[in-house]
Amino acid sequence: MELDAVVLARIQFAFTVSFHIIFPTFTIGLSAWIATLLVIWRRTGNVRYQELARFWTRIFAVSFAMGVVSGIVLSYQFGTNWSRFSVVTGNVIGPLIGYEVLTAFFLEATFLGILLFGWNRVPPTLHVGAAILVAVGTLFSAFWILSANSWMQTPAGHEIIDGIAYPVDWLAVVFNPSFPYRLAHMVIAAYLTTSFVVLATGARYLIAGRDRDHAMIMVRMGLGMAILLAPLQAVVGDIHGQHTAEFQPAKIAAIEAHWDGARPAPLVLFALPDEKNETNRYEIAIPGVASLFITHSMEGLFPGLKDFPVENRPPVWGPFFGFRIMVGVGLAMIAMAFWGGFLWWRGRLGGARLYLRLASFTWPLGFVAVLAGWTVTEQGRQPWLATGILRTMDAISPVSAAQVATTLVLFVLVYSVVFTAGIVYINRLINKGPTPEDALAEGVPNRPLTGATSPDAPVGAEI
């Protein structure tokens, strides 16, 4: 493949958006978790919940800052690298992004200030309210951005005049066919990812024999969410997939590495898809099972890649392997959730060292699944930027490959430094724990900590 401006711009967008999505995924879940902790604290008076909320708020602040700065980059890249896209779809997608800024960004950003710095500046009820508003803001943000993304996947409510998309029916634009499924799938993914981070952190403390009260709350609440959401996510993901088979059949064919639509599709467990020869090499497959998933019949037929002209086929490797990684991680999450649920039921959760050791390593699982899943859906949309409206190769700005290459190198350098540092600092905050001594004495200067939070405060009822 020649490194022209289009390829470089795609690499650049893939790079910046992949870094970005990690943080919203985390902060959507984390803001809800912090709000929940604060609500429980207000209702029970158990100061452990407040300490946990403060602890996770410190981590939230670092993550949110990284999400904000990496997100601003994306909103400008539409113009710098993809100016044709801005013109062709701007009439339709632009307002969705505009609504995200208006309804979500300002809400999040302003009440974040209250959440971080308002512990003693505003009444507790108002402070809890700010935490809830931040969590709601992140959901609004997910709503609009996924609506815009889904429109690129399954455009609706528009008409094309001279190659430019014009809005006809805004409700149809916003609630385009794939949007409800994608929204549900992504929001659950965010909550599930955060649940495993919380579970892993609690497990880490339990193994280290520290902060036991806090750790048990985290393990139970994280695990409780995982037991609920991990299986639910599998069901929602399956429904999402069924729907994709209807609206984006080429994507499904790529996911299944299914070439010949005239025959029932096997479930390909492993293969090296060979796009040139239109076949799979080293295939290990179970006959008929992919057809069973998608058509509910072992004999069912659905289009294979050969049914699409070569210029309309997505690349196969990204969707194929991305999907297998995502599903594999999802199954591992379900297994961890059920195993933990069993231990909890038998009352052995707190001392199950093997389980806790394994659980302490599960924090990256959700992020891996999210990145893999987005690879599936975005590469599966190719060669279109907006399905049927604009091809990726036609969406590029009139800029030189050298310019795109230069900024790509800059982004890689800057992101490497900034995001490595961010992860190191988050890890350091987790090592310090919910009741760090320096924080209790004086506090990190801009991290407010009240005198009310003393380490020997009475421990309330366990959940």
Partner 1 sequence: MEAYLPVIWAGLIATAVALYVVMDDFDLGVGILFPFAKKEEERDAMMNSIAPFWDGNETWLVLGGGGLWVAFPQAYAVIMPALYLPVTVMLLALIFRGVSFEFRFASKPKHALWDFAFTAGSILAAFSQGVILGGVIQGITVANGEFAGGAFDWATPFALLCGLGLVAGYGLLGATWIISRVEGDLAEAARRQATVLFPAVLVFIGLVSLWTPLQFDRIAERWFSTPNIWFLWPVPLLTAGLAFLAWRSLRLKQEMVPFFTAVGLFLLCFIGLAISTFPYLVPPSLTIWDTAAVPASQVFSLIGVVFMLPIILGYFAFVFWTFRGKVRVGEGYH
Residues 250-269 that bind partner 1 (CB under 8 A): none
Query: Is position 398 an interface residue for partner 1 (rule: CB under 8 A)?
Result: yes
Which of residues 6, 52, 66, 254 is near partner 1 by CB under 8 A? Answer: 66
397 phi, psi to nearest 5 deg: -75, 160
Which of residues 26, 78, 181, 191 is near partner 1 by CB under 8 A? Answer: 78
* Cα–Cα separations (whole angstroms), residue 67 to 23, 135, 199, 300, 426: 5, 14, 22, 44, 14
Report 365-394 residues binding partner 1 (CB under 8 A).
none
Report 290-319 residues binding partner 1 (CB under 8 A).
none
* Size of interface with partner 1, in residues (CB under 8 A): 75
Report 405-434 residues binding partner 1 (CB under 8 A).
406-407, 410-411, 414, 418, 421-422, 425, 428-429
Query: Is position 123 an interface residue for partner 1 (rule: CB under 8 A)?
Result: no
Which of residues 22, 32, 52, 116 is near partner 1 by CB under 8 A? Answer: 116
For residues 184 and 175, what is the distance between their CA atoms, to the nearest angstrom? 13
Query: Is position 400 an interface residue for partner 1 (rule: CB under 8 A)?
Result: yes
Which of residues 209, 347, 445, 458 is near partner 1 by CB under 8 A? Answer: 445
Which of residues 18, 36, 95, 300 is near partner 1 by CB under 8 A? Answer: 95
Closest by Cα among 88, 114, 91, 28 to 63 = 28
Which of residues 7, 17, 36, 94 is near partner 1 by CB under 8 A? Answer: 94
For residues 182 and 151, what is the distance between their CA atoms, to the nearest angstrom? 11
Which of residues 36, 39, 117, 306 is near partner 1 by CB under 8 A? Answer: 117
Report 151-180 residues binding partner 1 (CB under 8 A).
166-167, 170
Minimum separation from the CB atom of position 455 to partner 1 (A): 18
Interacting residues of 56 by C-beta distance below 8 A, sequence separation 6+: 30, 33, 34, 37, 198
C-alpha of 435 from chain center: 29
For residues 241 and 71, what is the distance between their CA atoms, to the nearest angstrom? 28
Interacting residues of 409 by C-beta distance below 8 A, sequence separation 6+: none
Closest by Cα among 96, 99, 98, 86 to 164 = 86
- 8 A C-beta contact, residue 78 and residue 86: yes
Q: Considering only 82-90, 268-276, 278-286, 373-381, which stretch makes contact with partner 1 by CB under 8 A?
A: 82-90
Nearer CB in complex with partner 1: 44/406: 406
The two structure tokens encoding residue 215: 């750790």
Query: Is position 444 an interface residue for partner 1 (rule: CB under 8 A)?
Result: yes
Which of residues 7, 11, 17, 80 is near partner 1 by CB under 8 A? Answer: 80
Nearer CB in complex with partner 1: 33/78: 78
For residues 126 and 119, what is the distance between their CA atoms, to the nearest angstrom? 10
| Vertex 89: Cα angle to 85 and 95 (nearest 5) | 120
Query: Is position 454 an interface residue for partner 1 (rule: CB under 8 A)?
Result: no
Minimum separation from the CB atom of position 166 to partner 1 (A): 6
Closest by Cα among 85, 93, 95, 136 to 112 = 136
For residues 16 and 174, what is the distance between their CA atoms, to the nearest angstrom? 25
Query: Is position 121 an interface residue for partner 1 (rule: CB under 8 A)?
Result: yes
**CA-based end-to-end distance of the chain:** 57
Nearer CB in complex with partner 1: 106/270: 106
Which of residues 160, 284, 331, 402 is near partner 1 by CB under 8 A? Answer: 402
Nearer CB in complex with partner 1: 171/461: 171
Report 335-364 residues binding partner 1 (CB under 8 A).
none
Which of residues 18, 36, 312, 403 is near partner 1 by CB under 8 A? Answer: 403
